[in-house]
Amino acid sequence: MKKILAAALLGLLILAPLALAPDARAEISTRKEIRIAPGETQEEIISFGGHVLIEGKVRNDVIVIGGSITISGQVGQSVVGLGSRILVKSTASVAKDLAALGGTLEKEPGCAIGGDTIYFQTRELGDRLFKDGHVFDGLFSLSIIPIIVVAKLVMIVLWLIVALMGAALLPKPIAYAAGQIRKRFWTDLGIGVVAIIVFTMLMFFATLLCFILVGIPIAMALGVAGFVIKVFGRLAVFYVLGESVLRAFRSANITPMGAVLMGLLVFSLAGFVPVLGFLFTFAMNAVGWGVTLRTKFGSRENWFVKKPAGC
């Protein structure tokens, strides 16, 4: 499982900086086909749903979401495919890792892979989890992966806007809540799971009451409350994840904005991992709910601790 997450992290960490600051030397495209002919050299390739054919040389990384990758030439760094059909021919050479998350992977005898080969076949995992695919036939098939990816990318953009606003307006409460997650992670997870269950039940009953109109304002109030709790909790989780990554890279100056944005990157990446990404997202959402309620939105006041008399 560590290798799977490492491969996903590799893909998004490479993709995000290039998306924010495109390099003229990198080929970033949504067109149907990118071909590097024999004798040609390209710095990097990033393709969304396209067909990438490498007969020449790519100096750095090749990242494809959906579409396909056919390699008969050289890649100087890693190859990452998310829901892609990957064919590595016998003459191909990949200097570092080959990671296929979903889709298909075929390697011909004689090809050279300098690092690890990581293959996570979503269809097979879905078949094992859902009774050979009879319950949700096609749910994990390649055909819907591009749709899922596009939906996730839209959500990432929306959360980016929220993260920028939240880190700018509430840096201290978010930082305090993040520190509390480190101290009492399991407590926050338990509180969050219970809170989500209770909230779901209340929303269900409010929906039933909507038939007699009384439930409409109740459902709206619950919806707003749930949204606010989720947003603040998610920002605290972003902070924890981002701060951990920045510390791992020995960053000297960690700001709330930097930590939150890095955490968004890591959190979004984990969401691309099939099944495991869903479990990770649910657990982190629960932690966010828990720490938001326990710290009263990072205000340092604990709702669950009784104050001594006279205070």
The rounded distance, in Å, linking the Cα atoms of 16 and 160 is: 12
Please provide residue 189's backbone torsions phi and psi, each rounded to the nearest 5 degrees.
-65, -45
The rounded distance, in Å, linking the Cα atoms of 253 and 72 is: 44
Task: Name the residue type at position 73.
Answer: G
Q: Are 57 and 41 in contact (CB under 8 A)?
A: yes
The CB density around residue 204, as the number of other CB atoms within 10 Å, is 11
* Burial of residue 222, with CB atoms counted within 10 A of its CB: 0-12 exposed, 13-18 middle, 19 or more buried: middle
Quick one: pLDDT at residue 227?
92
Quick one: pLDDT at residue 215?
67
Q: Are 266 and 146 in contact (CB under 8 A)?
A: no
Please write the tens of the pLDDT for every residue from 23-48: 434 555 445 688 999 999 998 887 77
Gyration radius of the chain over CA positions: 23
Quick one: pLDDT at residue 144?
55
Query: Cα–chain-centroid distance for residue 217?
Result: 34
> Could you tell me the two tokens for 139?
């749910």
The CB density around residue 178, as the number of other CB atoms within 10 Å, is 26
The rounded distance, in Å, linking the Cα atoms of 202 and 193 is: 14
* Burial of residue 21, with CB atoms counted within 10 A of its CB: 0-12 exposed, 13-18 middle, 19 or more buried: exposed
Q: Are 101 and 117 in contact (CB under 8 A)?
A: no
The rounded distance, in Å, linking the Cα atoms of 217 and 236 is: 29
- The CA distances from residue 224 to 199, 209, 219, 256, 290, in Å, are 12, 17, 9, 25, 17
Quick one: pLDDT at residue 134?
42
- Among 109, 141, 152, 189, residue whose Cα is nearest residue 8: 152
Positions of the chain with pLDDT under 70: 1-32, 121-149, 213-215, 251, 274-275, 300-311
Quick one: pLDDT at residue 87?
94
pTM, to two decimals: 0.53
∠ CA(70), CA(109), CA(39), 5° rounding?
45
